Structure 1
Amino acid sequence: MTDSDLRTNPDNFCYRHPDRQSFVLCQRCLRTICGECQTPLPVGVICPECLRDAQQQQKSATVTRMPRRRAGVDSRLIVTYTLVIITTVFYLIGLIPGIGESVQSLLAFNGVLAYIQPWRLVTVTLVHAGIWHIALNMLALWALGRSLEPLLGRWRFLTLYLLSALGGSVLVALLAPGTWVVGASGAVWGLLGAMFVIGRHIGANVTAIAVIMGINLVLTFLPGSGISWQAHIGGGLVGALIGFILARTRATRMRSRQIWLLVGVGVGLVALLAIPYLLYYA
């Protein structure tokens, strides 16, 4: 399917706002809805008309109450806010004398330890080298999460974040064995990669994303930067792959295939860890 087809296909646009493209379907009527039209449910989102029908049924039959949005809190970004808060809390714990260093050393990633302490593959996102390191990563997570979480849904967004972090750690283990790495940059780059691919799929202008990724990539390779380019590239490649999977399996009838493909990505990344083990440690 060409970009022209995607831009003219009404299924790619909110049925209430025909000028807004979206990937999200109402869980009841299966029509495409934009972020403004979404009301979150435990297993997806619902459009305003289906919500109104459900509320009318609730009044007449005393059924389970529908979730309400609290004033001042965007419930569509619950995963984004949770990740920012958890990461910030661990950074603050890391500042506590006598405790912080132990916590950081337990969560940071090193390919040598990945085989006996596998949690490090993901907990590396909770450890940062300084205030600017965490500030820039959390700002990027918040900015990208504002667009991606309502677009993909909570569980897809969380899966994208975690698998991208895993991808960054795996590439570090493959290309820089024994190197200590900290930060959520791999996961953030995965969000960038996914947004680039999904944007291309729906015909959006992704020039700004490409420029941001290019600038960051150049900075990563500067002498003395101390940045793990392996984590950035690994996370970005996995994020782009997941973005492609989500874009190609957005239809409800393809949900089972989407889940199995995402599981396959996770299994494949873990399987790749056998390569550095055989090369360097066996």
Structure 2
Amino acid sequence: MKASFWKSNPVTVTLIAIQVVVYVLMTLAGGSTHPAVLLQFGALQAGLVHAGQWWRLITPVFVHIGFAHILINSITLYFIGMYIEQLFGHWRMLVIYFISALAGNLLSADWLPAGISAGASTAIFGLFGAFIMLGMSFRENQAIRILSRQFLILVVLNIVTDLMVPGIDLAGHIGGLLGGFLAAYTVAAPRLGRVNMLERLIATVVLVVGLVALFLKVS
């Protein structure tokens, strides 16, 4: 990556770098598709969350199952991440990313109590959700509106694929999408303009209540 990209998008670059390092370490530890290795490095398993390992609601975002998984997620994060980081700012993107991961993993733990899941896609779907929020809040910005519409189409296609392909964590994707959408309202996007305060308040309340309700349900 060019130095200029790193300077403009340090959060995106750092997130990609961390998941690549984790993937290499998993490969050296026995393979990124081995269940024991996945759990060792922080993959999500609802039973372990019930047992008090709450960090598994966040750590799965850095864990990937196989080379194709991390390749696709890293490329997707590269492209959507640079948009979100430039439009929202560094710390706001970080908040959106991890709230999306938390929301997606909470819903996944609730829907798939027996399986193992991992990957950055919960958070990436949250970034898509954030862009959809921009399209709704800044309709007068033609470029934002067009990009938001394109990302919405991509989300719909991905969800349809999730329904058709076994083994995909649909719950995690939906939870991440909703979490990112609501979190984007909460942090707003001052680089683009003001977001309606009532909409921000409603989104924040829904987000907090939803996260607390899911947390209590899986605990």
TM-score range, shorter chain: 0.7 to 0.9
RCO higher in structure (CA 8 A, sep ≥6): 2
Structure 2: distance between partners of 1:111 and 1:118:
10
1:235–1:201 Cα change, 3 Å = same
Shift of 1:246: 3.3
Report the counterpart of residue 26 of structure 1 in structure 2. Answer: none
Shift of 1:180: 1.1
Q: For the Cα contact (< 8 Å) 1:144–1:191, is it kept in 2? A: yes
Structural mapping, 1:68-217, within 5 Å: 72-98=4-30, 103-106=37-40, 107-115=42-50, 116-203=52-139, 204-205=145-146, 206-217=148-159
The one-letter amino acid paired with 1:90 is V
Structure 2: distance between partners of 1:77 and 1:248:
16
Where do 5+ consecutive residues of structure 2 fail to align?
140-144
Structure 2: distance between partners of 1:181 and 1:198:
29
Shift of 1:138: 0.9
Where do 5+ consecutive residues of structure 1 fail to align?
1-69, 278-282
Is it true that 1:231 corresponds to 2:172 in the alignment? yes
Structure 2: distance between partners of 1:248 and 1:149:
10
Shift of 1:217: 0.5
Structural mapping, 1:44-83, within 5 Å: 72-83=4-15
Match among 211, 218, 227 for residue 160 of structure 2:
218
The structure where helix makes up a greater share of residues is 2
Structure 2: distance between partners of 1:76 and 1:99:
34
Shift of 1:76: 2.2
Q: For the Cα contact (< 8 Å) 1:174–1:273, is it kept in 2? A: no
TM-score normalised by structure 2 residue count: 0.81
TM-score normalised by structure 1 residue count: 0.64
Structure 2: distance between partners of 1:99 and 1:131:
10
Structure 2: distance between partners of 1:76 and 1:147:
11
Identity over aligned pairs, percent: 34
| 3-state SS, counterpart of residue 178 of structure 1 | coil
The one-letter amino acid paired with 1:108 is A
Counting matched residue pairs gives: 202
Task: Name which one, 1 or 2, has greater alpha-carbon Rg.
Answer: 1
Shift of 1:238: 0.7
Q: For the Cα contact (< 8 Å) 2:122–2:175, is it kept in 1? A: yes
Q: For the Cα contact (< 8 Å) 1:163–1:266, is it kept in 2? A: no
Q: For the Cα contact (< 8 Å) 2:30–2:37, is it kept in 1? A: no
